[in-house]
Structure 1
Amino acid sequence: MTESTRVNKSIWRDSKFLAYMGSITFYSAGFSMQQLIISWLLVGVLVLPGDEVGLVQAAIGIPGLFLMLWGGASADNRDPRSILINVYAITWLFPLMLVVCIHYDLLNIWTILLFGLAVSTATSFSSPAQQAILTQVAGGEIQKAVTASTALMFLVQIFSLGFAGQMDNVGLSTVLTVQAGCILLGALAIMRLNKTAPLPQPADETSWQRLTNGFKATYNNKRVYHLLLINFISSVFNAGAFMTVVPFVVKRAYEGDALQLATIMIIFYLGATLTNLFMLRVMPIARPGRWFLLMQLSRVVILALLWIKPDWWLLIIAMFAWGLNMGVTTTLSRTIVQESAEPEFRARILSVYSLGLIGSAPIGAIVLGNIIEIFGTLEALIPAMFVSIILFIYGVFFSPIWNYVSPTSTIDR
């Protein structure tokens, strides 16, 4: 039996890793419903125009930009397990508060905004801690651990979105109650992990210095810096297109409902799940940076297909292909950051990584929301095509990502 085989088996027999995967299951179930709930409440229930939806989504996401860095610094300086337990123990109450608002006929743009802000704040603290714990329980198999956890999150999202898509039938209050229960179970699951001591930090380092040192560590690590820059710009137009443009495509171009939007999202995440299951079998990947950049370029074909407003069945295929694509880029970007980050700065660097993903959402929502209202719904997909081509060229010729070799690889560097 090879050393690699022994390591692979040990991951799945490690009680700490399995406990972490259990917490991921409930975490993903609760938080993945959030995207569909917010999108459909704004687009399908309140029927707001694209520019207003963009502003609301931006208002929900912007405060998390600053809190994400604080969350990363906290995860480096404290036990991340305790952070997750405390965050989950509070967050499960937020959906129930919105249920109360629905009961008293107070569902409006302001209550939706407050609900979104509350969950967004919780995510800002939970995401860096969650990723920091993954590194601790993964042992020497970072690529496989990242891929397995990502695949599980996508798989859970499929079932969660399928349920949340029934909100017109089972009732929004029922969906929100289930969301609250999932988040509470996530808190119980993470309690199975043991406390972990934070890595030694300078005794005289202030909270502000911890934040700025995280930025410095990210910038000084040129591989991580260029990856995060590409990922951020890509997310503004690509993830922004998925979160802001796709709900309008379903509502306006295809005259769909919440269930059809959920179907689109399920197909998307099904593709992402299958990609990760395939990568789990072929990992470790020697040159993850090359595949990450090639996926940027191939996305142009998928977006072009969506832009021509194909028949519904062809739209389904395009969304599945987009999910396959996104599954590769998401997992490989996380993998490269996890492998490249210095241990004492890992949570802070990961918080900057998450900051780029979350920060891109409000920017993309504002930009694409205005493009929708000025130029048309499908035209809002065009910028992502050009950006994807530019990012591929930049990544190949102006960054070290193309030539990056994973430390788990045996090929010559």
Structure 2
Amino acid sequence: MSDRIEELVDDMAEGAAGDVTSPVSGVSEALGAGASLLSTATHWRAKQLRRGVKIELPAYLMVQCSWFMAFGLQMVLFPYLITGRDHLHLDGLALGLANMALSGPSVIFLLIGGVVAERADGRRLLIILHLLAAIPALFLAVAVARGQLTYVGMILYGLTIGTVGAFMMPARDSIVNEVVERRMRVGSGVTLQLGVTLATMAQFLAQIAGLILAGYADKMTRMPQWLGGFGVGPIAAEKLLLAQGIVLAVGTLFALNLAKGRQVRTGRTGISAAFGDIAEGFRAVRADGKLWAMTALMFGVGIFVIGAFLVVLPIINRDVYHLGSDGIRDMFVTFWLGAFVSSVVLSIFRRIKRQGRLLLIAQFLGSSSILAMMWDIPHWGFLTIVFVWGLAAGISIAMSRSIVQDAAPKEKLARVLSIYQLGFMAGAPFGAALMGALVDIFGPQKIAIVPAGGMTLIILWMVFFTPVWNMKGEAWKEHAARK
């Protein structure tokens, strides 16, 4: 678009300079100079626009890194403060209920968050939400530092950060579509699939950094001899919580480099209009077989996979391998490292033909790998299973997001994304509570058959009764049509 404007202005300038004559001395030269000045100004404006558009994607990725590095810190610190022997030292059910408080608000507020994300200035919304997310982490840091940490405080933290996250998810995830679209307008070869994969890579890399840092909580970790054998830590939990709050606040600086973005106007006004917008989003999801299937799949993942991930793995870490925050760190870093590796491989392929087929195969392999945890295996074997699980998760997350972003109507994108995420977030609280109760009754190893069996049934339903297995990626179809 800007190139066409530049060409038009250049033609105007040349015409003004070469064809305009006047009996009054100097007028022709003045007109030519004016047209030249207009052309120069347009060239400068076009360059500024290009520069702003090119900065947007790196800025968006840094916003992604800010949130998920803090999330990585939280993934270790939250279960560690609840189950750790030096802090609350509570059981699996208590951890499951706390995780339910952390993910539960999304069930209530996520759909409203999708409506707000469409109507609001996306950049301003990200800035406000990052600042709001920093506050509970800072309050928790003060409580730990004063020795006043309580289970009620952890529940309140979970409810608060979970509520902010419910508004953050659709706002952040819908913006990538606009960022890629604007970048393509200035001649970039970035496809939506690649943009989503890059965002996923940034998420995984930032989570790994947060997980590694949080693993040094209250305990020294000695590096391998080939790295010098030096020790790192211990770092007090309150300092790590302070770092979590600061990292979230820094995300606001990167959000300033984003464009305002599109704001959808549905013609409805008032609070009750939000419910009409939500109903419209549900109709869009229900009318598209791919969107409906992906939402159902995410509900199953929330119940069977996230419940095992948030509850079973930390209890195995404590009761089977007798490890603390360093074990939680190693476990989660291994998982997200696997996810990062698979997302890097995916980034090489800008156009994947059978996205749905790849997604379901990865889900099946990841679910099947959990079964090996039913037996007594060495810690390195346990981490190997976790790594394979992470490889499958990286593929699943990138492909499912790409499918939904492609299939969703652009004017309902944030609402559709919020419904898709709701499938995931609605299942997570029930999964966490269920797995917490089963862990206390049967032990953490025997219940591995529950998530594996549950996901296998869902995958079989997806293969035989939904269009996901045979669908073709939109980027691949467009590329094939051009050939």
TM-score by length of 1: 0.94
TM-score by length of 2: 0.80
User: SS in structure 2 opposite 1:218?
Assistant: helix
Alpha carbons of 1:231 and 1:203: their partners in 2 closer, same or farther (altered >3 Å)? closer
**Who is 1:104 aligned against?**
146
Answer yes or no: is the 8 Å Cα contact 2:59–2:257 preserved in 1.
Answer: yes
1:224-271 CA distance string (max 9 Å, x none): 111110121123111211111100010001111111110110011000
User: SS in structure 2 opposite 1:47?
Assistant: coil
Aligned partner of 1:179: which letter?
Q
Output aligned runs, 1:40-79, within 5 Å: 40-44=80-84, 45-79=87-121
Aligned partner of 2:208: which letter?
I
Output aligned runs, 1:232-271, within 5 Å: 232-271=299-338
Out of 226, 235, 239, the residue aligned to residue 174 of structure 1 is 239
User: SS in structure 2 opposite 1:48?
Assistant: coil
> How many Å separate the matches in 2 of 1:185 and 1:322?
31
Deviation at 1:11, TM superposition (A): 12
**Who is 1:5 aligned against?**
none
> How many Å separate the matches in 1 of 2:53 and 2:345?
21
**Who is 2:259 aligned against?**
194
Out of 274, 280, 300, the residue aligned to residue 213 of structure 1 is 280
Aligned length: 403
Output aligned runs, 1:149-160, within 5 Å: 149-160=199-210
Deviation at 1:181, TM superposition (A): 0.8
**Who is 1:377 aligned against?**
444
Output aligned runs, 1:10-409, within 5 Å: 14-44=54-84, 45-139=87-181, 141-168=191-218, 169-204=234-269, 206-409=273-476
> How many Å separate the matches in 1 of 2:414 and 2:275?
15
Alpha carbons of 1:25 and 1:12: their partners in 2 closer, same or farther (altered >3 Å)? farther
**Who is 1:4 aligned against?**
none
> How many Å separate the matches in 1 of 2:52 and 2:203?
17
Runs (4+) off by over 6 Å: 10-13
1:348-387 CA distance string (max 9 Å, x none): 1101122222222211111111111111111221111111
User: SS in structure 2 opposite 1:409?
Assistant: helix
> How many Å separate the matches in 2 of 1:317 and 1:178?
30
User: SS in structure 2 opposite 1:92?
Assistant: helix
Answer yes or no: is the 8 Å Cα contact 2:298–2:421 preserved in 1.
Answer: no
Identity among equivalent pairs (%): 27
Answer yes or no: is the 8 Å Cα contact 1:95–1:180 preserved in 2.
Answer: yes
> How many Å separate the matches in 2 of 1:143 and 1:158?
23
Deviation at 1:209, TM superposition (A): 1.0
> How many Å separate the matches in 1 of 2:101 and 2:146?
25
> How many Å separate the matches in 2 of 1:360 and 1:240?
9
User: SS in structure 2 opposite 1:404?
Assistant: coil
Aligned partner of 1:135: which letter?
N
1:264-300 CA distance string (max 9 Å, x none): 1001100000100000002311110001111222124
Deviation at 1:313, TM superposition (A): 1.2
1:158-179 CA distance string (max 9 Å, x none): 1110001111121011101110
> How many Å separate the matches in 2 of 1:243 and 1:118?
18
> How many Å separate the matches in 1 of 2:143 and 2:316?
29
Deviation at 1:203, TM superposition (A): 3.8
> How many Å separate the matches in 1 of 2:316 and 2:52?
41
> How many Å separate the matches in 1 of 2:94 and 2:216?
25
> How many Å separate the matches in 2 of 1:212 and 1:300?
33
Alpha carbons of 1:39 and 1:12: their partners in 2 closer, same or farther (altered >3 Å)? farther
Aligned partner of 1:63: which letter?
P
Alpha carbons of 1:68 and 1:300: their partners in 2 closer, same or farther (altered >3 Å)? closer
Aligned partner of 1:191: which letter?
L
Higher RCO structure, 1 or 2 (CA under 8 Å, sep 6+): 1
Name structure 2 gaps, 5 residues minimum.
1-49, 185-190, 219-233
User: SS in structure 1 opposite 2:438?
Assistant: helix
Deviation at 1:104, TM superposition (A): 3.0
User: SS in structure 2 opposite 1:170?
Assistant: coil
Answer yes or no: is the 8 Å Cα contact 1:299–1:388 preserved in 2.
Answer: no
Aligned partner of 1:126: which letter?
M
Deviates more, 1:99-108 or 1:316-325: 99-108
Deviates more, 1:111-120 or 1:40-49: 40-49
Answer yes or no: is the 8 Å Cα contact 2:126–2:255 preserved in 1.
Answer: yes
Name structure 1 gaps, 5 residues minimum.
1-9
Deviation at 1:218, TM superposition (A): 1.5
Answer yes or no: is the 8 Å Cα contact 1:11–1:17 preserved in 2.
Answer: no
Deviation at 1:326, TM superposition (A): 0.5
